[in-house]
Structure 1
Amino acid sequence: MVPKGVTVSIRKVFDDSAEGYDFDRRRLIPCYEDFYTIPLEIIPFHQDRELRVLDLGAGTGLLSAGIAARYPRAQLVLVDLAPAMLQIAERRFAGGDAGRVTFQLMDYCKQPLKGTYDLIVSALSIHHLADSDKEALFNRVCKILEPGGLFINADQVLGENAVAEKIYQHRWLQKVRESGISDEALTAARERTREDRMSPLSGQLAWLNRAGFTDVTVWYQYYNFVVYSGTKPLSKNNLAE
């Protein structure tokens, strides 16, 4: 269970930074292009397919916008606990995509995930959960995926040891300062990290395997920024067909 007060605190932090969030993201993520492109490139489904997609901690809808553009028949559900973030996401999809996108204001860690999906994604959200909640979430995600469905997480991880974590932090700060980010934006970003509950990558991969995922794969890593996925196995009936 999330420690008392954490959910409210996270919501406030992201509501307060919502308007400038997308603008600053390119400067705060040194590997921005790869980080948001690779999740799209590893989706194995045909682009004409009517996908059902769930985006956990969707924020301003950046990742979902990329999916919507590649999959014009996809139906997307964007979940987030910060109202200001979802308001920006709603504006992002206010045009022709509005009819196939649903927005849900909720804490996906505490509230039930309804429906079934072909694709479940998350970007820069799950690292806010405690380890036990991450593992529990992976189990819940596997249950609501259709057989053959895919879970993709683009997130930040803790170094596997103190040496790695020190290098991760040093290189991130160096790259961010080189980007020309404002002192105000950097301070706000550091404030948001107080709500982080990052976990080593190896542990998260183990949780995916224990949850029943197959083909667990790390597709990308740039210091503490990673993209990984797991597939829900096909049922015995599917395999026999």
Structure 2
Amino acid sequence: MTGTTRAPWSWDGGLAETFDDHVRASIPLYEQAQWLTLELSDEFAVPGSMIYDLGSSTGGLSADLATRHPRCEVVGVDSEPQMTAAATAAHVRANLRFETADVAATHLTDAGFVVAHHLLPFLTRVERAVALTAVAGGLVDGGALLIAEKTLPDTAAAQARAATVLTGYKLARGLSAAQIVAKERALRGVMLPRTIAHLEGELQAAGFTETTTVMTWMNWTMILAVKGTR
């Protein structure tokens, strides 16, 4: 009897060196989402407030936020030491630092703008609730959380359609069929996307008063969640 062994998923193990190319080939509208994040940050990154990038990976977005908002302190947080080390080495700004920590339990204070791209699907239901409540609690009134993630389509037909289109997207950007299948197997049971309605419910339960979908591509969604008013 023969079988295959599923390799456990991790962003560690040398992926820091190839991460940026990897996500561009895997995530639709990745660069557009980075641009939109910076544009939206202008409304919420009040001078003197904190900006947090949760799941900061190699730190490119954190560095761009620090450059764009020199009167704000930017903190990039990632659970993988290799990512934090790579980000710290690559991006030096007076108002920027990177921390290795459990992003689901990060303590935020005086935050005007928080980014959590492609993070929440890797957390359990309980971890998501804790993380979102902590973010809402750490935001100033009128502050915002911006998330971008793969969501779960409402029907089996829509799920199959989204999977087919995403496979085509990845193949067109140079990933092999073997690479695509290997990653899908590794992420099975690890990446747990929710429907948009479920996600919006979680955000509201955590204390956010306004949620707006600001970009979509099939089942890849970017949502802006605002806490209260200024």
> For this structure pair, what is the TM-score category when the shorter chain's length is used for normalisation?
0.7 to 0.9
- Residue 201 of structure 1 aligns with which residue? 196
Q: Which segments of 5 or more consecutive residues in structure 2 lack a partner in the other structure?
A: 1-7
Q: 1:171 to 1:232 in 2, by over 3 A?
A: same
**TM-aligned CA deviation for residue 136 of structure 1:** 2.8
Instruction: Please list the CA deviations of residues 147-168 of structure 1 after superposition, one character each: whole Å capped at 9, or x if unmatched.
Output: 1111111111111222221111
Of the three residues 36, 39, 47, the one matched with 2:37 is 39
1:229 corresponds to 2:224? yes
Aligned residues of 1:54 and 1:77 also touching (Cα < 8 A): yes
Q: Which segments of 5 or more consecutive residues in structure 1 lack a partner in the other structure?
A: 1-8
1:78 corresponds to 2:70? no
- Residue 123 of structure 1 aligns with which residue? 117
Aligned residues of 2:75 and 2:98 also touching (Cα < 8 A): yes
Letter in 1 for 2:12: D
Of the three residues 3, 27, 30, the one matched with 1:29 is 27
Aligned residues of 1:153 and 1:227 also touching (Cα < 8 A): yes
Instruction: Please list the CA deviations of residues 161-192 of structure 1 after superposition, one character each: whole Å capped at 9, or x if unmatched.
Output: 22221111111111110112356754664355
1:150 corresponds to 2:132? no
Instruction: Please list the CA deviations of residues 111-131 of structure 1 after superposition, one character each: whole Å capped at 9, or x if unmatched.
Output: 351433111111111110123
Q: 1:166 to 1:183 in 2, by over 3 A?
A: closer
Of the three residues 74, 92, 97, the one matched with 1:102 is 97
List 4+ stretches of structure 1 deviating above 6 A. Answer: none
Distance of 2:44 and 2:75 partners within structure 1: 19
**TM-aligned CA deviation for residue 228 of structure 1:** 0.5
- Residue 217 of structure 1 aligns with which residue? 212
Higher relative contact order (CA 8 A, sep 6+): 1
Of the three residues 61, 66, 69, the one matched with 1:68 is 66
> Percentage identity across aligned positions?
24
1:164 corresponds to 2:158? yes
1:15 corresponds to 2:12? yes
Distance of 1:164 and 1:78 partners within structure 2: 35
1:113 corresponds to 2:107? yes
Q: 1:115 to 1:48 in 2, by over 3 A?
A: closer
- Residue 135 of structure 1 aligns with which residue? 129
- Residue 55 of structure 1 aligns with which residue? 53
Distance of 1:41 and 1:56 partners within structure 2: 18
Distance of 2:73 and 2:209 partners within structure 1: 25
Q: 1:212 to 1:196 in 2, by over 3 A?
A: same
